[in-house]
């Protein structure tokens, strides 16, 4: 799951940098700074979301024969 989160974070960071460069008319340095910041934030949020998911508790009951 972590590798998928890192790939998705890198892709979304690239798209946000591209959007800032084209649509918001930001400079190159700002766009290149947004790429790792946004990508790392999204990847860390996805990893935190995946690790905090609650797993169902197994009921360990003794079988009486």
Task: Compute CA 16 distance to the chain's CA centroid, rounded to the nearest angstrom.
Answer: 14
**Which tokens in the block code for residue 64?**
């009486």
At residue 58, the pLDDT reads: 65
Q: What band does 59 get if pLDDT is binned at 50, 70 and 90?
A: low
Contacts (Cβ under 8 Å, ≥6 apart) of 44: 9
**Model confidence at 1: pLDDT above 70:** yes
Q: Tens of pLDDT along 23-57?
A: 888 888 888 888 889 888 988 988 888 888 766 66
Each domain of the chain, given as residue ranges in start order, spans: 2-51
pTM: 0.67
CB of 13 closer than 8 Å to CB of 37: yes
- DSSP for 21-62, please give it: HHTS---HHHHHHHHHHHHHHHHHHHHHHHHTPPPPPPP--P
Per DSSP, 17 falls in state H
């Amino acid at each position: 799951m972590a590798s998928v989160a890192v790939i998705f974070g890198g892709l979304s960071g690239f798209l946000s940098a591209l959007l800032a460069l084209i649509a918001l008319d930001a400079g190159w340095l700002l766009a290149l700074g947004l790429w790792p910041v946004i990508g790392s934030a999204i990847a860390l949020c996805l990893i935190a979301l995946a690790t905090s998911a609650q797993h169902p508790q197994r009921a360990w009951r003794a079988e009486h024969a």
